[in-house]
Amino acid sequence: MHVCQYRGKDHLCFFQGIQQNGYCRGHGVIMDEHYHIVKTVVPGGGMAASDMHEFKLINNGKTALMTVYQQRQFDMSIWNVKGGMGWLMESVFQEVDVETNKVLFEWRSLDHVDPSVSYTYPGHTDTSGTGLEPRSPWDYFHINSVDKNADGDYLISSRHTCAIYKISGKDGSVLWQLHGANPSFKNINFSFSQQHDARWLTENGTHTLLSLYNNGFNGFNRTHDYSSGMLILINHVDQTATQLHEYGPQNHDMISSSQGNMQVLPNGNVFIGWGNNAYVSEHDAEGNLLLWGYIDKGRIMNYRAQKFHWEGNPTDIPALWTYSKTTDAASPTTFYVSWNGATRVKHWRFYGLNNSTDNYTLIHQSPKDGFETSYTASEFYRFTYAEAIDAQGKVLGKSREQFTFTPSPALQEYCSDTTCENTQAYGVPGEEDAKAIIPQIGLNTVPWVDPDQPGVHLNWGNKWPPAPENEPSGALKNAYNRVGWVAPSLGIILTVVAIYVVVRVYRRRPNSSGMRRRSSEALGAKESKASLRVSSLLWWSPRRWRQTEPARYFPLSEEQGRIR
């Protein structure tokens, strides 16, 4: 996962998929500051899924670089696969349009790099593959990074050929190769193997400066004493490559058999992820170690570790758990609070009370301390909540009001003053052949639920961001709650009555055209009837505009003749 630019804003980009033997099947994901997925990106050209090794947005998020691993049948007779066709894994990379997934450029390893130059043979390592079946194709190339320069050319790293390639963005040809079986340059003071994460730093007509992470080990063959980050300068005039700096691990004794990366920061420092050893480090430009830490020891791996500025604003609420060993007034209460993904939190405020009818009291404010912050108050609080505070003292979010957990009397003696650890077996410690006991039905085992008022405890806290400051005042809101739906209904009734009165008054007015004529004048009578039928109707009446028969008109002399 890394920070990427998409539509002019910072987003998080990462690969999501299923792990295979040294590669993956999945797709790229773009996530906004609220941790909502706004886009998924898949390869094009008939490729079903992308691979984990590279998903990188470029061109301000308009296009993406993606790796694809595709198995295919291949004549592997020179590798002693002679009873039929063998299976080989081809490394592919694409540049695709993020919005349409249209393929703008595609490169395939078999078109340009022969499998005979690979240093990883069929059935040789845990990720090489046997080459005997489609579920275990021989991975002769193993692409693990892709970069692009301003000229439109690409830089790729191949772990299993131990080489870095510059690829033409016009025809896909190999423009030059660093290290490996057929190098374009003479290495002056370095070598590498099983490397990862080759990146362009600067280029001109005579020199190329790039970085990479040298593993020096694949779990079976070891070429170096330790893994390291490398800064390498290529001289295109005299066709040489020189290592300018090496960034090694603490005590120079860590070697990673897979994964890893090196990131050059804007200030010239270097940040390194140590791959299957889930350690991270930061070095100054000269290689001096500034930071050495770990995510975990031995149980997890971390493909890449990178350093960015990121502001995350999750839409959920802070998580709080409070604990006290007993309900005695002098029993300490310990708060454990976190807010996953919220980067603006600087302090936590802890509140508590003992009677649900009382007001909460501010107990303490603590600076945020890592992912989860804990604080122990000196006395017991039955109900608690926490607020997340930013650097300006503004409340970012509020947790749910929490009922403090206290262990039952049977459990208390096995718990400490600040927490109660997980059990290891049924029964009490040391009890043999203990089994689960089924209690009688109907017991109230959830202490924060009142059987007589089962919904009282449901208070879900405030979500980010807080409610706007210009919302109605408390008095106005209370008045609206008292009136409810009566006011809108009364308004509608009064409007209908007013319209009815206006219509009645209007209809009682005498007809100014037909009523003033003498009844003895037949033509006047005709006009009067027509006026009553149409003209006397109000403009909004449907009858005025819906005539059942066409209007008929007669010359004055003809009509008078008919009357006579």
| pTM of the predicted model over 0.85 | no
Taking domain 2-294, whether its CATH number is 3.30.1180 is answered by no
Residue 458 is predicted with a pLDDT of 64
Segment 350-372 mean pLDDT:
92
Q: What is the mean pLDDT of the chain?
A: 87
Model confidence at 518: pLDDT above 60? no
Domain boundaries, the chain: 2-294, 319-413
Segment 515-542 mean pLDDT:
46
Higher pLDDT, 78 or 493: 78
Model confidence at 531: pLDDT above 70? no
Model confidence at 240: pLDDT above 50? yes
Length of the chain: 564
Contacts of 100 (CB under 8 A, 6+ apart): none
Q: At the fourth CATH level, which superfamily is domain 319-413?
A: Immunoglobulins (2.60.40.10)
Long-range contact set of residues 287-291: C-beta below 8 Å, sequence gap at least 24: 287/245, 287/246, 287/247, 287/248, 289/250
Higher pLDDT, 285 or 505: 285
Q: Above pLDDT 70, what percent of the chain? A: 82
Print the SS3 string covering 381-438: CCEEEEEEECCCCCEEEECCCEECECCCHHHHCCCCCCCCCCCCCCCCCCCCCCCCCC
Q: Above pLDDT 90, what percent of the chain? A: 74
**In angstroms, what CA-CA distances link 532 with 232, 460, 543, 544?**
100, 67, 11, 10
Q: pLDDT per residue over 334-343, tens digit each?
A: 999 999 999 9
Q: What is the DSSP letter of 533?
A: I
Segment 431-452 mean pLDDT:
85
